[in-house]
């Protein structure tokens, strides 16, 4: 991973697009893309490209969270708020991610949606909470979202976008500009990484990983993992009735994913 000072230094390199592409091809430019910039993620058991620091992502997450809380109407419904806190805190504890100040906020909207930011802030829409039939199904949603945090999926997508930007010349443009403009360009790329799961769909790989971690957290928190199958099936059914929930557009589901979820539940011996 880049240190903050290395990251700050990046835009100061002066190089034309042609030189940059040649350097990338020869492996002389951005050696971090090939060497020390992957990190082992113990929750996933695989290495990830990681070009952004926890500090950078935390800062952007905080800004995004403040903006969301101003944009959406926060619900005052005491029952919904209690349920979000009750289920959310049990899943957060079971996930072992005590480094985050977890927060579970209910937005007063019919939208069937939920999302998470890498800093452990979870937005739950009333429409989604009303769709869940019990705490186990809400634990499915929160467990899955916590799985995306443990999987560092937003950071991975931002890193992949940065690498792709470098390859396609976005970096060359950024690198040739003044520092101030570059700061904005990089923040834009990082911010785009954060929009995965909020506005843009997660990849299939990320979905499968979040499913597995999510049901593991459910089981550890004494929720019934079998309810996750019922919940996702109901989301897919709603979709087939012509009213696709917003939640499914960012967390795409299909029969293949359901099969993987079922086989994980069986292999762990969960009920």
Active site residue 72: no
Q: With CB under 5 A as the contact rule, which of the stretches 74-82, 158-166, 235-243, 248-256 interacts with Zn ion?
A: 248-256
Question: Which tokens is 177 given?
Answer: 């500009």
Angle, CA of 132, 137 and 143, to the nearest 5°:
125
CA distance 47 to 39: 5
Count of residues that bind Zn ion according to CB under 5 A: 4
CA distance 53 to 63: 16
Of positions 100, 157, 251, 264, contacts Zn ion by CB under 5 A: 251
Q: Which is nearer to Zn ion, 91 or 175 (CB)?
A: 91
Site string for Zn ion, 202-241 (x = CB under 5 A): x----x--x-------------------------------
Catalytic residue selected from 19, 111, 130, 145: 145
Q: Between the CA of residue 114 and those of 96, 123, 140, what are the distances in Å?
A: 21, 5, 11
Using the rule CB under 5 A, is 100 a contact of Zn ion? no
Would you say 94 and 221 are in contact if contact means Cβ atoms under 8 Å apart? yes
User: Please, what is the minimum distance in Å from the beta carbon of residue 88 to Zn ion?
Assistant: 16
What single-letter DSSP state applies at residue 134?
Answer: S
- Size of the chain in residues: 271
Q: Which is nearer to Zn ion, 64 or 182 (CB)?
A: 64
Would you say 216 and 142 are in contact if contact means Cβ atoms under 8 Å apart? no
Residue nearest to Zn ion as judged by C-beta position: 251
Residues of this chain that interact with Zn ion (CB under 5 A) are 202, 207, 210, 251
Q: Which residues are catalytic?
A: 145
């Amino acid at each position: 991973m880049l240190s903050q000072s290395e990251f700050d230094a990046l835009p100061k390199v002066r190089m034309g697009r042609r030189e940059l592409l040649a350097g990338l091809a020869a492996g002389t430019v951005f050696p971090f893309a090939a060497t020390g910039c992957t990190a082992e993620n113990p929750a996933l058991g695989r290495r990830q490209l990681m070009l952004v620091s926890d500090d950078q992502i935390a800062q952007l997450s905080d800004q995004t969270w403040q903006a969301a809380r101003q944009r959406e109407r926060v619900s005052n419904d005491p029952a919904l708020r209690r349920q979000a806190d009750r289920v959310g805190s049990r899943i957060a504890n079971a996930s072992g991610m005590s480094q985050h100040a977890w927060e579970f906020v209910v937005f007063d909207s019919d939208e069937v949606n939920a999302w998470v930011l890498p800093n452990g802030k979870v937005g739950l829409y009333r429409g989604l909470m009303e769709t869940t039939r019990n705490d186990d199904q809400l634990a499915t949603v929160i467990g899955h979202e916590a799985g995306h945090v443990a999987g560092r999926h937003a950071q991975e997508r931002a890193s992949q976008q940065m690498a792709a930007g470098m390859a396609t010349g976005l970096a060359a443009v950024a690198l040739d500009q003044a520092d101030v403009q570059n700061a904005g360009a990089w923040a834009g790329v990082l911010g785009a990484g954060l929009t995965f799961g909020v506005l843009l769909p997660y990849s299939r790989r990320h979905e499968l990983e979040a499913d597995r971690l999510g049901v593991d957290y459910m089981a550890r928190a004494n929720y019934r993992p079998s309810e996750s199958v019922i919940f996702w099936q109901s989301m897919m059914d709603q979709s087939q009735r012509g009213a696709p929930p917003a939640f499914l557009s960012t967390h795409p589901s299909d029969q293949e994913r359901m099969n993987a979820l079922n086989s994980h539940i069986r292999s762990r011996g969960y009920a």
